[in-house]
Structure formats: structure tokens, C-alpha cells
A and B are shown apart, each in its own frame.
Chain A
Amino acid sequence: MELTRLSLLESALKSRYPQLAVFIVMLVGYIFAIIAGLIGTPVGSSNFSIVFVWIAWWAILILIAVPFFGRGWCAVCPIPLPGEWLQRGAVLGPHGNRWSSRRRGTDADSVLLDRRRRTETKWLNLRVPKMFRNIWLQNISFLLLALFSSVLLTTPNITGIVLAAMLFAAVGLSMVFERRAFCRYLCPVGGFIGLYSQTAPIELRIKDKQVCVKCKDKPCYHGSSAGYGCPWDVFPGGLTRNTYCGLCMECIRTCPHDNIAVNLRPFSADLAKPSARMDEAFKAFIMLGSAMIYAGVLLGPWGMFKDAAYNVGTTAWFIYAIIFLTIIFGVLPGLFTLGLLQTKGAASLKQRFASLSTALIPLGLMFWVAFSLSFVLTNASYILAALSDPLGLGWNLFDTANIAWQPMLTSVLAPAQTLALVVGLIWSARTAQKSANEAGVSPFTIIIYCLIATSVMLWLLL
């Protein structure tokens, strides 16, 4: 179902102003989170940076945005904005055509503009080297945050520093590389959002491939007087998966043939086309393993693990880090490979590993949903208090500063977690059947793998 047929929605997406309004709110909130982290109270549960980033934002991201809107968060994320504005030298439309969002550029416009932009730009505007054009850096950046997460999630000034570092990294990369290099290749959050966005019931796609084939200058990729070339370095005419489309809507503005649509579709439509990339395969294991480790370490009753995870730099922490990485890079993919060895197929083991790991994507997403339900419902009552006193300075802006901590919906938590995990298991098993059918192998061992992982997660959470 094409959503952009709704004229109101189409106008809202083509205009830059609604998006800019959201961007500005997000950017103000983001900068305030940095400031709160750096100068606010060191008590995490009373500090805006911890409460709004790791409870409110995380809940919206993992429980709503990613499952239902895929990269919807990326469409309004403030992190790339300052760098992008500097890179473009403009906040709205392209130079020399400030009001251009109201009209369409022609194919010829795009080439001229692209050439002019390349020669006029003040910044280096380099292509990201080929060896980095994958999500390995995103895997590493996520793991780095994950290994320090016990400190990051609980210590306001660390959260403030990390948020600021991400903003500066995005600005720095925008000065050196073209387009949104940070979002595409480094953002620790963007990697898993991209992976799980394949399950979302929303997509941006072209309407007619022939129109793109005949389109001479590809303004959706190169830009035109109507807008910029794809900031995510994607040619929309070739989009078959959500993974790397940031839903920035720039191509909707630039396409001179009105050939780009936002569609509503069945959940996990992209998973019918398994990836063959090892970076994406390992992302699935990283996310699956991290959810299980967090469930055990953060929500489990074992104080020894919490001590080890929190005391960064100690021997116990190094042992924790080694175990963490061993589970993610050794145990989980190792057991998966052992299962694959029991199957015979025309494709090589590496190809089977990469394509069949697609089955773990719904499972990983639902593991995160189940984990986050517990964490978020238990701590959501901090949100109202932090809203009234965001820096922990004794303010009471909305008369909610003294609301006592109270866990929410504890009676439905276990059923909701079970539902999430069993739905994830069924979803993954169905995906495994489809992927295995594609690869010409039996899905049996992959489904059993998913069952065992689900049982472990149930044991950790219930």
C-alpha cells in the first residue's frame, strides 16, 4: 500500500519544514542531554541524560520506532545535523535555491548542481575508502559501548561525553567524507537499526524500475536544485532492502519523475531476500548475544557479574569482556556453524552462514523487546520526576519532581516477555524455513538453535 498517495503525507514528506521542526526539537533535546550529563546531578536516576536517553528514548526506539518504522529514528536523529549543515553550507535546500523544496529540478539541473557542489565545497568531500564501506566499524563501535554499558547506562557524565563524542565524530566525518559517513559506517546505533529495519512494515522504494533506468542523471543520487543526493550513499533505484535507507526523504524531493514511494508492507518483507554479507551476519550475532548477556548481567540476581561489568579496568572486567566477546564471536556463531555442518547444500559454508543468519534477525529484535520491557517498565516512573528536575538541582517545573519510584505493570511483564520471545521464535523459524528453502538446505538445525536461544532467554528473564 503506497502511503505517499495520501496527499497530506506526501506534502509533509516533500516539504523540508516539518522535518526541520522535528530536527530542531531533537537537537535541542540532544544538546540538553549532553549538558545535563556533564553538569547535572551524578545520580543517574535523577538526571535527564540517563533517564531520557536510556529509558525514554530507548523505550521508544526498541519498542516502537524500530519494529514499526524501521529507520524512522534515523529520519529525525539530530546527530548528523550540524555536520551535514556545515557540509552543505545550508540548513534547508541546496545553495542558490533556498526555496527549492517547492519545485522539482530537472535531470540537467542535477548534473550541473552536482558538479558545482563538488567544486565549490569547502570540505574534503572524499569517498569513504572501500575497505570501510561495510558495517564492521559499526559492529566495533556498538561492542565498545556494550562492553562499557554498565558505566554508560548509569553514569550521567559518561553518557554526556559519549553523546558529545558522537556529535563531534559526525561533524568531523562530514568535513572529511561526503554524505553521512558517520550514520552509514560508524554510528553504533545505526548498525542494528538498519539490521532490524528489515522487519519493519514500512519501506521506501521506487514505483517503476524502468523510469529509473531511463532517468539520465539520477538526481536522487547526485542531487539537483530540488534537493541533495542521497545522504546515505544509496541509489534509490536499486533499493531492495531497508538496511541502508535512512528514510531522510531527500530522494522524494529530488526525483523529477515522482517515482519514489513510501509503502506499507507485511512485516519482515526484506528477510525473504537473505543477505550474503558477513558483517551483517555478525551484527545479528552481536545483537542476539548482547541481549542475552544484558539480561543475565543487568537483570539477573548475580552480583558478581554486575561488579565485573561495572568496574572497568579491573581484572574482573577484563574477564567479563573476554567472556562477552567469546560468547558473541565464538559460542553463538560456533554453535550455529555446528548446526550448519549438519546440513548439505550447494552453497559454501560461509555463504550458508551469512544467508541463514538472517533467521536470527526477528529473534534478536524480540530478545531486545523482551529485555527492554523489563528495564523500561521498572524504571519508567523516573521519567516524570526527571522532567520536572532534569539536572537534579531541586527544581519542580511540572510538579512531578517528587513522584516516588514505582515499577509499572509488573503483573503483565512476564506474559508480555513470553509473548515477545515466542513470537520472535516463530518469526525466526518461519524466516529460517524461507532462507533454508532459498539455500536448498534443511532449516531444522537453525530452528533448534533458535529454540535453545529462546529457552535460555526465557530462563534469564522469567
Chain B
Amino acid sequence: MVVAFAPLPVSSSSPQARNFRLEARQFAFSPSELFVNPGDILTLELVSTDVVHGIYIDGYDLSVEADPGRTATLTFIADKPGSFRFRCHVTCGAMHPFMIGKLTVGTNNWLYRSIGFSVLAVLGLLLFPRTDPKIKL
């Protein structure tokens, strides 16, 4: 419970407008990892360098698509903290389902809490092992 609800350090930087030029090609985004602060106003300029690509952001449920050579823009406030996959949502070739990037808003608290859970679980098992009678094979 402590791990689940303990307050974690919060970034104190004030929200700001951030622009990212995101190049999409089969089957990757560049840059593929974006780090912003909660509350930032984020503008993604999606540029496709080969075929039509899109970007869909998990958790935010936002999307935009770009034709080759044309820039498509998506602006939103990054008001949900955590780590989110963004992915191409326009079928663009064989590896399309795996054309994925990662947006981290603030700190990826869920990851740290999950690792904390794991450590606590292991500590519990090590400190309070259940001893079973030896099983005969």
C-alpha cells in the first residue's frame, strides 16, 4: 500500500510550449522517445519520409496522419502523467503494428511503483518464507 500510494517527487518546472518535429518512416519514428513535463503544451509536427503514416497516442486517444512530404500537426496539453506508447495507425507496411514510440510525461511513476511492488514482494517472501514439508519424488 505504501508503494502504491506514497507520494513520489514531482517535477517543479512550470508548463511550457514544446515543439517536436517527428519524422516517420517505415517502421520507426525519429525521435522515438519524447520527454515532457505535465501541463506542457505539446505540438507534434509529423513528417512522413516515405509512405502515409499516422500517429496515435495511447492514453490520450489522439491521432493525426501525414502524407509523404507534408507536415501534419497535432497540438495538445500533456495533462496525463506517465508513459504512453505512440504508434502509427495507418497501415504502412509489414511491420506497421510494431511502429511504436514512447511519450513520457513527467516521471514514469507506474514503472517505479511496479518495481517497488516487486521488491516488496520478494522481501516478504525472503523474510517470511513458507516452509513446506519436503516432497518425496
**B-binding segment of A167-175, A256-264, A299-307, A318-326:** A299-307
- The contact of A422 among B114, B126, B130, by CB within 8 Å, is B114
Interface residues of A in 275-311 (CB under 8 A from B): 297-304, 306-307, 310
**A430–B125 contact, CB under 8 A?**
yes
**B111–A462 contact, CB under 8 A?**
yes
Q: In whole Å, how far is B26's beta carbon from the nearest beta carbon of chain A?
A: 9
Q: In whole Å, how far is A445's beta carbon from the nearest beta carbon of chain B?
A: 11
**B87–A378 contact, CB under 8 A?**
yes
Question: Please, what's the 1-or-0 string for B19-40, where 1 marks a CB less than 8 Å from any CB in chain A?
Answer: 0000001011110110000000
Given the complex of chains A and B, what is the CA–CA distance between A301 and B102 in angstroms? 6
Is there a chain A Cβ closer than 8 Å to B122's Cβ? yes
Question: Please, what's the 1-or-0 string for A409-446, where 1 marks a CB less than 8 Å from any CB in chain B?
Answer: 01101100010011001100110011001100000100
Is there a chain B Cβ closer than 8 Å to A105's Cβ? no
**B121–A426 contact, CB under 8 A?**
yes
Q: Given known contacts A154-B94, A301-B32, A410-B59, is B27 in contact with A306 (CB within 8 Å)? A: yes
**A44–B32 contact, CB under 8 A?**
no
> With a CB–CB cut-off of 8 A, which chain B residues contact A425?
118, 121-122
Given the complex of chains A and B, what is the CA–CA distance between A421 and B118 in angstroms? 8
Given the complex of chains A and B, what is the CA–CA distance between A434 and B118 in angstroms? 19
Question: Please, what's the 1-or-0 string for B105-134, where 1 marks a CB less than 8 Å from any CB in chain A?
Answer: 000101100110111011001100111101
Given the complex of chains A and B, what is the CA–CA distance between A379 and B85 in angstroms? 14
**B114–A462 contact, CB under 8 A?**
yes
Given the complex of chains A and B, what is the CA–CA distance between A46 and B90 in angstroms? 12
Q: In whole Å, how far is B91's beta carbon from the nearest beta carbon of chain A?
A: 6
CB closest chain-A residue, reference B84? A410
Given the complex of chains A and B, what is the CA–CA distance between A304 and B33 in angstroms? 13
Is there a chain B Cβ closer than 8 Å to A150's Cβ? yes
CB closest chain-A residue, reference B90? A405
Is there a chain B Cβ closer than 8 Å to A451's Cβ? yes
Given the complex of chains A and B, what is the CA–CA distance between A437 and B129 in angstroms? 11
**B32–A302 contact, CB under 8 A?**
yes
Given the complex of chains A and B, what is the CA–CA distance between A301 and B29 in angstroms? 8
Q: Given known contacts A301-B33, A444-B126, A459-B111, is B100 in contact with A434 (CB within 8 Å)? A: no
Q: In whole Å, how far is A209's beta carbon from the nearest beta carbon of chain B?
A: 14
CB closest chain-B residue, reference A425? B118
**B130–A430 contact, CB under 8 A?**
yes
Is there a chain A Cβ closer than 8 Å to B98's Cβ? yes
Interface size on B, residues (CB 8 A): 45
Question: Please, what's the 1-or-0 string for B67-108, where 1 marks a CB less than 8 Å from any CB in chain A?
Answer: 000000000000000110101010100111111111000001
Q: In whole Å, how far is A173's beta carbon from the nearest beta carbon of chain B?
A: 31
**B125–A433 contact, CB under 8 A?**
yes
CB closest chain-B residue, reference A304? B28
**B100–A301 contact, CB under 8 A?**
yes
CB closest chain-B residue, reference A447? B122
- The contact of B134 among A407, A413, A438, A447, by CB within 8 Å, is A438
**A310–B94 contact, CB under 8 A?**
yes
Q: In whole Å, how far is B102's beta carbon from the nearest beta carbon of chain A?
A: 4
**B134–A451 contact, CB under 8 A?**
no
Point out which of B91, B94, B119 has the most chain A C-beta atoms below 10 A from its C-beta. Answer: B94
Given the complex of chains A and B, what is the CA–CA distance between A312 and B125 in angstroms? 44
CB closest chain-A residue, reference B28? A303
> With a CB–CB cut-off of 8 A, which chain A residues contact B129?
433
**B118–A455 contact, CB under 8 A?**
yes
Q: Given known contacts A422-B121, A430-B130, A455-B115, is B94 in contact with A462 (CB within 8 Å)? A: no
Question: Please, what's the 1-or-0 string for A123-156, where 1 marks a CB less than 8 Å from any CB in chain B?
Answer: 0000000000000000000000000001100110
Is there a chain A Cβ closer than 8 Å to B6's Cβ? no
Given the complex of chains A and B, what is the CA–CA distance between A46 and B94 in angstroms? 11
Q: In whole Å, how far is A403's beta carbon from the nearest beta carbon of chain B?
A: 14
Is there a chain B Cβ closer than 8 Å to A77's Cβ? no
CB closest chain-A residue, reference B56? A407
Known: A300-B100, A462-B114. 11 other contacts (CB 8 A): A301-B32, A302-B28, A303-B32, A310-B95, A410-B59, A411-B59, A418-B114, A425-B118, A426-B125, A447-B122, A447-B126
Task: Name 5 interchain pairs, CB-CB below 8 A, sorted by A.
Answer: A154-B95, A303-B27, A306-B27, A310-B94, A410-B59
Top-8 shortest CB links A-B: A303-B28, A301-B32, A154-B94, A301-B102, A418-B114, A462-B111, A298-B98, A301-B101
